[in-house]
Structure 1
Amino acid sequence: MKLSNIKPISFLKSDAARIVTELSETREPLIITQNGEAKLVVQDIASYEAQRQTIALLKILALGEKEIAQGKVTMAADVFAELDQLDKKDGA
């Protein structure tokens, strides 16, 4: 992250329209400080949505790993056999 992407809250107040344009173009987040301390991050909506999707996928992976560790698994061959049985019942 570029150091120029850290600005005081007064910058956010006075340059909001320009910030929207820049963030939409660069897709780089902007860190806002208050009294010299980082307080919030501003980012464009496309980056925000991509980040949310990434987090959702990571949660699914973590859940899958947890279920594997707990032994909550079914062998693929068993799943396919069950699906074959369901197909035979539906075809009859």
Structure 2
Amino acid sequence: MIDISQDIHSLTEFKRNTTEFLQRIKQTKHPLVLTVNGKAELVVQDAESYQKLLEAVELLETLKGIKLGLEQMQERKGKTAGDFFNELFDKLDSSQ
């Protein structure tokens, strides 16, 4: 989570004190927002925290897909598993 009082700095300040900022990012695991002309332009984050973020997004996308599938099933949209596999096997047979 970003701490507005400590995690927003100018790109110029980051360039001058890169080592200090990198140590802080590794220690706190907080991303750092860098500004250019007073506007947020970049976010710097340690690799481990970024990987966790990617995994969380992937899980969210998976859950959204499952939710959509369940909604479609309740609305009687889509195909039964049997129909799906029959079509799949038909396609595989015809491609050989």
* TM bucket normalised to smaller: 0.7 to 0.9
What TM-score do you get using the length of structure 1 for normalisation? 0.73
Residue 64 of structure 2 corresponds to 62
Residue 94 of structure 2 corresponds to none
2:11 is the counterpart of 1:9:
yes
The CA deviation at 1:20 is 1.3
- 1:20-73 alpha-carbon deviations (Å, 9 max, x no partner): 111001101111000000111111111101111101000000000111111158
Residue 52 of structure 1 corresponds to 54
Which is richer in helix? Answer: 1
Equivalent residues, number = 74
Could you tell me which runs of 5 or more consecutive residues in structure 1 were left unpaired when the two chains were aligned: 75-92
The CA deviation at 1:18 is 1.6
Q: Which runs of 4+ in 1 moved over 6 A?
A: none
What TM-score do you get using the length of structure 2 for normalisation? 0.70
Change over 3 Å in CA distance of 1:48–1:64 after alignment to 2: same
Change over 3 Å in CA distance of 1:73–1:64 after alignment to 2: farther
Root mean square deviation of aligned Cα: 1.6
2:45 is the counterpart of 1:43:
yes
Matched AA of 1:48: Y
Residue 88 of structure 1 corresponds to none
Identity %: 28
Could you tell me which runs of 5 or more consecutive residues in structure 2 were left unpaired when the two chains were aligned: 81-96
Matched AA of 2:59: L
